[in-house]
Amino acid sequence: MALKIAIVGAGPAGCILARLLLYQIQPEQLRKDKTVEKSARSIDITIFESEHSVDFRSQGGSLDLHDHTGILALRKAGLNEEFLAHARYDGEAMSWTDKSLRAYLKLSGNTGRPEIDRSDLRKILTESLPEDIVQWNKKLVGVRKKPASGNENIHGADQWELEFMDGTTASGYDLIVGADGAWSKVRSSVLSDEKPFHSGVGGYCLVIPNVKETAPDMYQLVNRGTYFTFDGGDKPHSGRALIGQQLSNGNMTVSLWMACPENWQETVEYDINDGAAIKQFMIEKKYKDWHPRLLEAVRHADENNVVARSLYMLPVGFTWPHQQGITLLGDAAHLMTPFAGEGVNLAFEDAIHLCDAIKETLAEKNGSSVEKTLDNNVIAFEKNMNQRATITQSHTFEQMVDWYFTPGSPGNNIERVILRNLKFKSQGSSLLLYNLTYPFTAAMIYTGYFIYKRFLLW
Ligand SMILES: Cc1cc2nc3c(=O)[nH]c(=O)nc-3n(C[C@H](O)[C@H](O)[C@H](O)COP(=O)(O)OP(=O)(O)OC[C@H]3O[C@@H](n4cnc5c(N)ncnc54)[C@H](O)[C@@H]3O)c2cc1C
């Protein structure tokens, strides 16, 4: 009997999980020239996705994938070549400056974080799956306990039923995986009443079409990578950022993030549906004290492609009481702001671990039932995910506080930001080395920046 898995959401987390499972457990199912009959399958996967098709919604900007998480998952899923065909290693150039363009940090060369457009990643993932695996236009409205008929006592993994917007239902799964993102219905239906809360940051995503021609100065500044400009303001809760990011199609995304209350979109003094009015307000008021070269980026952005966004997060360390037969991964489990660039990477790492948990279930034939073994393995997966996610959520939260809620940033806290990032990268055994060398590293960084800020920065 095949292990039946339902995945809700064909985002990066859901798709990589499906691909990993098929590639590692029964790769024959991925062959285009052959169909593996249902009766011969050791794993039977269905993804339910609310969108109508793979390119239903513009997939926005660029994601940086990391060697030991995001890229590792693609390698384990047999998608390294496809990734390399789309990855931009020159997209690794990164700069952090203040609003006057004074540079506090520049990275180039191999940082182990190549960029890939979100749309390319989605295409790679969905095209890597058998065509019939994703059921598009299947919006989950809830998960409920299956109504028992007669004296039947339904329990264990088979107790759940998925309900869709079109009135249909689906059940009979050994495991339901909620990969349905920030506002996960799987999470809210049965696992937790906790809702994402507003992070205190919101803003606009803009696009400069064909940036090399339309805004050559910005193109040069961003240097085919990512350009972060921050200003923590002079009082609490007044931080602003402008982030330019090159895309592979020649366009550039420009994100304007600001510390703001949750209802900011209702209280603005211009028409929030009018891209030209938004740009004008940003240039003439909100960002008027910023370097003219940065304002040019806003000026050249397409006024018909301005998207307002509020950033939400789940509490750091969020967890839920385990329920047999259901789990979560990706943003559904640990939504955070994008300020550490870790969301997709963490989601891919989750998928590696959940794939291992399922694979081990099929490999373990020690007398206990598959249902019990799978449940134990999923419990262990959730525990591990929570530990990993807590570290990343906490790092991301502190990064946000440093950039948007610390007056004087980045000038007065760049040293702390760098040290925290070094610590974050030193997980596992290298954390000990980080701790041992901390006094020396901190002294070097603080002294270096003291000299730099005093004598070299203008
Ligand atoms: C502006 C921005 C920039 C970012 N930059 C980075 C970065 O550089 N690096 C990085 O690692 N991360 C980044 N992230 C975070 C990253 O985008 C997310 O962590 C990642 O997309 C999570 O993947 P996911 O599959 O868990 O969720 P999602 O990407 O949200 O996918 C969820 C899927 O589920 C579907 N779905 C939702 N509800 C239902 C339903 N009821 N029924 C059926 N289907 C449903 C959705 O349509 C979607 O396809 C960024 C995020 C933002 C907002």
202 lines ligand 1 (CB under 6 A): no
CA-nearest of 109, 169, 163 to 141 is 163
Q: Whose CA is nearest to atom 52 of ligand 1?
A: 338
Domain stop point among 313, 338, 364: 313
Query: Are both 207 and 150 inside the same structural domain?
Result: no
Last residue of one domain, picked from the residues 273, 296, 313: 313
pLDDT value at residue 205: 96
Side-chain-facing half-sphere of 304: CA atoms under 13 Å: 1
Indicate the SS3 state at residue 275.
helix
Structural domain of 12? 3-88+116-195+315-399
Per-residue pLDDT tens for 310-345? 999 999 999 999 999 999 999 999 999 999 999 999
Q: Are residues 345 and 274 in the same domain?
A: no
A 10 A CB-CB count for 85 gives 10
Q: How far apart are CA 91 and CA 2, in angstroms?
A: 42
Kindly state whether residues 335 and 417 are assigned to the same domain: no
Give the Å distance between the CA of 299 and the centre of ligand 1. Answer: 29
d(CA 195, CA 188): 8
8 Å CB contact between 278 and 272: yes
Ligand 1, atom 2: closest residue by C-alpha: 338
**Residue 103 in domain:** no
Report the nearest atom of ligand 1 relative to the CA of 335: 19
Contacts of residue 124, defined as CB under 8 A and 6 or more positions apart, other chains included, come to 79, 82, 83, 86
Tokens of 141: 């409205």
Looking at residue 404, its pLDDT comes to 95
What is the atom index within ligand 1 of the atom nearest the CA of 346? Answer: 11
In whole angstroms, how large is the CA radius of gyration of the chain? 23
Looking at beta carbons, which pairs linking 446-455 to residues 24 or more positions away fall under 8 Å? 446/415, 449/414, 449/415, 453/411
Ligand 1 proximity of 47 Cβ (cutoff 6 Å)? no
The beta strands (E) that lie in 175-286 are given as: 175-178, 197-208, 226-231, 240-246, 252-259
- Spacing of C-alpha 228 from chain mean position: 18
| Of 313, 348, 370, the domain-final residue | 313
pLDDT score for 368: 67
User: 3-state class of 134 per DSSP?
Assistant: strand
Does residue 257 sit in helix, strand or coil? Answer: strand
- Would residue 253 count as lying in a domain? yes
What is the distance between the alpha carbons of residues 199 and 396, in angstroms, rounded to a whole number? 11
294 lines ligand 1 (CB under 6 A): no
Does 222 lie in the same domain as 188? no
Ligand 1 near 359 CB (within 6 A) = no
Q: Ligand 1 centre and the CA of 14: distance in Å?
A: 10
Considering the domain architecture, whether residues 26 and 56 belong to the same structural domain is answered as yes
CB-ligand 1 contact for 63 (6 Å cutoff): yes
Ligand 1 binding pocket includes 208 (Cβ within 6 Å): no
Q: Rounded to whole angstroms, how far apart are CA atoms 403 and 229? A: 10
98 in any annotated domain = no
- Does the residue 109 lie in any domain? no
- What is the CA(283)–ligand 1 centre distance, in A? 30
Q: Is 11 in the pocket of ligand 1 (CB under 6 A)?
A: yes
Q: Are residues 229 and 308 both part of a single domain? A: yes
Ligand 1 contacts CB of residue 180 (under 6 A): yes
What's the average pLDDT block by block, 10 residues per block, for the chain (458 residues)? 93 97 93 81 95 71 89 97 88 85 84 82 94 95 81 66 97 96 97 98 97 94 90 88 92 96 95 97 97 96 96 98 97 97 96 97 77 95 98 97 94 95 87 93 96 86
Q: Are residues 343 and 306 both part of a single domain?
A: no
CATH number of the structural domain spanning residue 68: 3.50.50.60
Q: Are residues 243 and 335 in the same domain?
A: no
- Residue 106, in any domain of the structure: no
Question: Is residue 107 in a domain?
Answer: no
| Rounded Cα–Cα distance for residues 237 and 403 (Å) | 10
- 131, two tokens: 């065509």
| 352 shares its domain with 243 | no
Quote the pLDDT of residue 112: 65
Q: Atom 50, ligand 1: which residue's CA is nearest?
A: 338
Q: Report yes or no on 393 lying in a domain.
A: yes
pLDDT tens track for 217-250: 999 999 888 899 999 988 877 899 999 999 988 9
Same domain, 132 and 228: no
Q: What is the pLDDT of residue 36?
A: 82
**DSSP sequence for 15-75:** HHHHHHHHHHH-GGGG-TT----GGG-SEEEEEE-SSSSTTSS---SEEE--TTTHHHHHH
Q: Is 48 in the pocket of ligand 1 (CB under 6 A)?
A: yes
| Residues 160, 189 contacting (CB under 8 angstroms) | no
DSSP state of 250: S
Domain annotation covers residue 23: yes
By most ligand atoms within 8 Å of CB, the mutation choice from 122, 137, 180, 345 for ligand 1 is 180
Distance 180 CA to ligand 1 centre (A): 8
- Cα 250 to Cα 262: distance, rounded to the nearest angstrom: 33
Query: Does 140 share its domain with 179?
Result: yes
The ligand 1 atom nearest the CA atom of 15? 25
Q: Write the CB contacts of 16 (distance below 8 Å, at least 6 apart in sequence).
A: 73, 74, 77, 125, 347, 348, 351
Asked if residue 261 and residue 188 are part of one domain, the reply reads: no
Count of domains forming the chain: 3
Inter-axis angle of helices 12-25 and 343-363, to 10 degrees? 30
| Distance between CA atoms of residues 404 and 232, nearest Å | 5
Alpha carbon distances (Å) from 377 to 43, 185, 363, 428: 16, 23, 12, 22
